[in-house]
Structure 1
Amino acid sequence: MSTHAKTEQYGFLERTFKLSEHKTTVKTEVMAGITTFMTMAYIIIVNPGILSATGMDIGALFTATCLSAAFATLVMAFYANYPFALAPGMGLNAFFAFTVVLGMGYSWEFALTAVLFEGIIFILLTFFNIREAIINCMPMNIKHAVSVGIGLFIAFIGLSNAGLVAANEATKVTLGDMSSPPVLLAIIGLVITGVLLAKNVKGALLFGIIATTVVGIPMGVTPMPTGIMSAPPSLAPIAFKFDFSRIMSLDMLVIMFTFLFVDLFDTLGTLVGVASKADMLDKEGKLPRAKQALFADALGTTFGAMMGTSTVTTYVESASGVAEGGKTGLTALTTGVMFLLALLFSPLLTIVPGAATAPALILVGLFMMSPIKKINLDDFTEAIPAFLTIIMMPLTYSIAEGIVFGILSYVILKLLTGRTKDLSLPMYILAILFILKFTM
C-alpha cells in the first residue's frame, strides 16, 4: 500500500473513531479487537451446540451466530464508538433451548418469535431513553461494584473453563484435577501471560492465548486443524422462521419478559462495569453515548432473531480488549470483522481450546478489580449494597442478579436509615419491580 493510501486510510479511521482524542492508535485498537474476539470466540461453537438441542440445524446456527455477532458489534463500532463486542448471550441461549423449547414444550420457532418481540421492545425502550435512565439512576458505588463483580465473574468463568475449579456435591465448588492436561495447560498459560504482562508487552493477552494454544498441541489439548478455510453453511433452515400463532398468550408474555429482564440488566451491567474500569464514565457517573450503545444490542437481538439465533447481548469479555488498551469503536470494528472472517476460517479459529483463553479471562478479572478503591466502605448503606453486587455475580453466575441484590439492598437500607435524599424515583420503581420478580 502506498504512503498516500495509508495516510488516507488512517485519516478515515481517525475521523471516524477520533483516535487522537482518545489517546490511542490503530495498532493498539486492532490488537485489542483481536484479543476480545479470541476470548469470546467460544460462542461460535457453544451457541450452536446449545441451540441445536431444540432440533435447529447446527450448521445454520454457526452462520447465524457469526452474522448476528458481527452485525451488532459493527453497530456498536460505528454508531456508539465504543470498544464493546456483542454476540448471542450465554444463559439466554440455555433458557431458549432447555426451558422454553425442551422444558415447556414450545417449538423453537415460537421461542424465536419471543426473541424478535424482545428486540423490538428494546428498540422502543432505548428510543424513549428508558434504558439510559436506568443506567443514570444507579449510584456511583453500585457502578464501581458492578465492575468489580464482573471481574470476579469473568475470573470464575476462566477458572471453570480451564478446569481449575470444578463442581462438588458437598462444597458446590472445589479444586479441579491438577494433573489433567487442560488444567496444566491453563497454568502454563497463566505463567506465560503473567510474564508478558510483567514485562509490559503490548498485546500480552493475545500473545498469551496464541502461545498457550501452540503449547497445547503436543499436550493433546489443542487439536490439529482439519483445514484452513471452508464455506459457511446456509441459513435457510432457520432464518425468518417465526410462529405468530400464539403471540397474545400468557406464556409468550412470560417468556418475553424473562428474555427482557435478563438481557436488560446483563447489558447495563456490562456497559457500566467495563466503562467504569476504562474511566469512560463522566463526572456525574453517566456513560456518554449510552443510547447509541444500547441501540446496538436492541438492533442486534432483532437481527439475530431474523437470522435464527437467541438474544444478542454485550459481552463481559469486552473487558479483555479494554485491558489491552482498546478505547474506541475501532476495537469493536476489528472484533466484528473477525466474526465475519470466522465464517470462512472456522477450521483454524475453532482449535483454540478453553484452557488457552482461560488465563486471559482470569487476568482480566484482576484488571477489573481496581474500581474497588473508589467504593465508600465506611458508609454501610453504600458498602453493603456494593458488596452484595460484587459477591452475587459470580455466585449466581449472573450479572443481572448481582445488580438486583445491589439496588434492592441500597433502597431498603437508605429507607430504613432515613436517608431518602439519596434515592431517586427510578430507584424506587426498580426496587418494586425487583420485589415483584421474586414474589411472582
Structure 2
Amino acid sequence: MKDKIQSFFHLEEHGTNIQTEIIAGITTFVTIAYILVVNPSILGDGGMDPGAVFTATAVTAAFGTCLMALSTNYPFILAPGMGLNAFMIYTVVLSMGYTWEVALAAFFVEGLIFLVIALTNIREVVLDAIPLSLKFAITAGIGLFITLIGLKNAGIVVDSPSTLITIFPFHSSMQDGSFATGGISALLGLVGIVITALLMIHNVKGNILLGILITWALGLVCQLAGVYVPDPAAGYGSLIPDFSRGLSVPSMALTFMKMDFSQVFSVGFATVVIAYLFTNISETFGALVGSASKAGVLQEDGKFPRFKNALVAQSVGVLTAAVTGTSATTSVVECAAGIAAGGKTGLTSLVTGIMFLISLLLSPIFLAIPSFATAPALVIVGFLMISSLLAIDFSDMSEAMPAFICLFTIPFTYSIVEGMALGFISYVVINTLGGTERRKKVSVAMYVIALLFVAKYFFV
C-alpha cells in the first residue's frame, strides 16, 4: 500500500514522503477549518438551515479537494469561498430579494459556464477581459464587505438613526440591562480580533481557527459564570454544544437539490451569474497561480502544468456546491500553510479532504460556535483581502478611479453586484472618453458586460 501511494503521487520525484504529506494535509485543514464555522453562520442569515449547510460545506470541500488532488497531484484545496458566501446571502438574497434557492441555481449555471471556460481556450480571453485594477478592487471591496459583516454580526457595530451605523453603546447597555447579551458579545468579538491578530503576528499555525476557538471558550466561561445570558429571541443562543443526538451527521435534506431555476431568463439573474463568474474566476486564478508559485510548480516561462485539470476540478466543485446546498467553492489560499509545512503533492490535499469528512462527526461543536467568535475570522480575512489594493497603480487615474468606485461601493451599498456594476461601467466610460490610447484598453467583452449592468438598473 505504501509503495502504491508513493508511486501514484510520485513522492520521491517531488522530494517528499508520506509522513510529511500527512502533516502538511492536517496543517492545511486546521488553517481552513474555520469555513465550517463561518459558512453555516453566514448562509443561516439567509434562511438556510445551519446544520444542512454545515454538512454540505464539509462534503463539498472534501469532494472538491480530493478531486483536485487526484486530477492534478497538486497540494491545492477547494472549499466554499469567503466572499462568495457573503455575496450570495447579503447581496443576492437580502439585498436583491431572491430566494436562496434561486441563488443556488445561479451558482449552478455559473458552474456550467466555468466548466465550458475550463475546457476551452477562452479561459485566457475571459480572464484578460477584466482589467487588473478592477480585479484587485473587487477583492479589496469584498474584504471591506466581509469585515463589515463580521463587525455587524458580532454586534460590534449597530444601526444608528443619525449616522447609519455606530459602535455598540456599552455604557447605556449597562444601564438598561442588555449588556449581559449584546454587550458581552460585542466585547468578546473585539477581544477575539486582538487575539487572532496576535496569533498571526507570532505565526501560530491555524491562527484563524484557533482565534475562533479561544473567543468561543471565553464566551463559554462567561456563560457558565452568568456574565453572558443567552437570549435566543434576540439572536444570542447558548454557547454550549448540544450532544443530545450524539455524534450524528446533520441531514442535507433541507438544502440538497433545492435549486430554483424559475428566474433563469431574467436580466437580474444574468447579472448575478456574471458577477458570480467574474468573482470566482478572479479568486480562483489568483489563488491557483499564487499557490503554484509557492509550491514551485510554475515553469520558467510562467506556464502552469495541468492548469486545465485544476480549473475543471474547480468548476465541478461549484456544481457540487449548488447541488448539495452551499455557496460556490473556490481555490483557497490557505493551502499555502500546507505547502509551507512541506506539502508538495496531491497527497497533502487528499489528507485535507479526508479531514473534512471526519469533521462531519463534530457538528455539535462547530454549530455551537456563535457569531461573535466568527467575527475575528471575517475581520482578519477582510484584512488579508484588502492588501490587494497595493497592486493598483494610483498614479493612473483611468485605472485608479474605477477601482476606487468599485472599492467603496461594495461596502457602502452592502452589495458586491453594485460595486462590480459601477466599477465596470465607470471603467468603460472613463477610458472610452479618455482618449485614443485609453480607449484601446477597453475590450469588447467589457463593453458587453457594462451594457448588461446598465440594463440591470432599468429592467430589474
Q: TM-score, normalised by structure 2?
A: 0.72
SS of the residue corresponding to residue 230 of structure 1 reads coil
1: CA distance, partners of 2:302 / 2:169: 43
| Deviation (angstroms), 1:387 | 1.2
Q: Does 1:257 align with 2:270?
A: yes
1:31 pairs with one of 17, 27, 35: 27
| Deviation (angstroms), 1:385 | 1.4
Structure 1 residue aligned with 2:443? 424
2:328 pairs with one of 312, 316, 320: 312
Q: Which amino acid aligns with 2:79?
A: A
Contact residue 205 and residue 324 of structure 1 kept, 8 A: no
Contact residue 96 and residue 111 of structure 1 kept, 8 A: yes
2: CA distance, partners of 1:192 / 1:225: 23
SS of the residue corresponding to residue 167 of structure 1 reads strand
Structure 2 residue aligned with 1:354? 371
2: CA distance, partners of 1:30 / 1:402: 37
Structure 2 residue aligned with 1:372? 389
Q: Which amino acid aligns with 1:378?
A: S
CA shift digits 1:124-168 (9 cap, x unpaired): 344345555322222222233333223322322222232211233
SS of the residue corresponding to residue 33 of structure 2 reads helix
Structure 1 residue aligned with 2:79? 85
Structure 2 residue aligned with 1:174? 166
Q: Does 1:271 align with 2:284?
A: yes
Which has the larger displacement, 319-328 or 251-260? 319-328
What 5-or-longer segments of structure 2 have no aligned partner?
Answer: 171-178, 229-237
CA shift digits 1:87-122 (9 cap, x unpaired): 7834535756994559xxxxx6x8877765554444
| Deviation (angstroms), 1:68 | 3.3
Q: TM-score, normalised by structure 1?
A: 0.75
Q: Which amino acid aligns with 1:432?
A: L
Q: Does 1:207 align with 2:226?
A: no
1:165 pairs with one of 157, 175, 182: 157
Q: Does 1:345 align with 2:362?
A: yes
CA shift digits 1:186-213 (9 cap, x unpaired): 1221222232233333333332222222
Q: Which amino acid aligns with 1:173?
A: I
CA shift digits 1:239-266 (9 cap, x unpaired): 55788xxx7x7x4412753552342133
> In 2 relative to 1, CA 46–381 (structure 1 residues): closer, same or farther, beyond 3 Å?
closer
Identity across matched positions, percent? 33
2: CA distance, partners of 1:285 / 1:174: 47
SS of the residue corresponding to residue 152 of structure 1 reads helix
Contact residue 192 and residue 376 of structure 2 kept, 8 A: yes
SS of the residue corresponding to residue 350 of structure 1 reads helix
Structure 2 residue aligned with 1:298? 315
Structure 1 residue aligned with 2:63? 71
2: CA distance, partners of 1:161 / 1:133: 39
| Deviation (angstroms), 1:432 | 2.5
Q: CA RMSD in A?
A: 4.4
2:421 pairs with one of 404, 410, 421: 404
Number of aligned residues: 415
Contact residue 150 and residue 399 of structure 1 kept, 8 A: yes
2: CA distance, partners of 1:415 / 1:17: 52
What pairs up with 1:4-153 in 2 under 5 angstroms? 15=11, 27=23, 30-44=26-40, 47=43, 50-51=46-47, 63-79=55-71, 81=74, 82-86=76-80, 89-92=85-88, 95=92, 99-100=97-98, 119-130=111-122, 132-153=124-145
| Deviation (angstroms), 1:214 | 1.5
> In 2 relative to 1, CA 10–384 (structure 1 residues): closer, same or farther, beyond 3 Å?
farther
Structure 2 residue aligned with 1:105? none
What 5-or-longer segments of structure 1 have no aligned partner?
Answer: 103-107
| Deviation (angstroms), 1:344 | 1.9
1: CA distance, partners of 2:326 / 2:450: 28
SS of the residue corresponding to residue 218 of structure 1 reads helix
SS of the residue corresponding to residue 205 of structure 1 reads helix
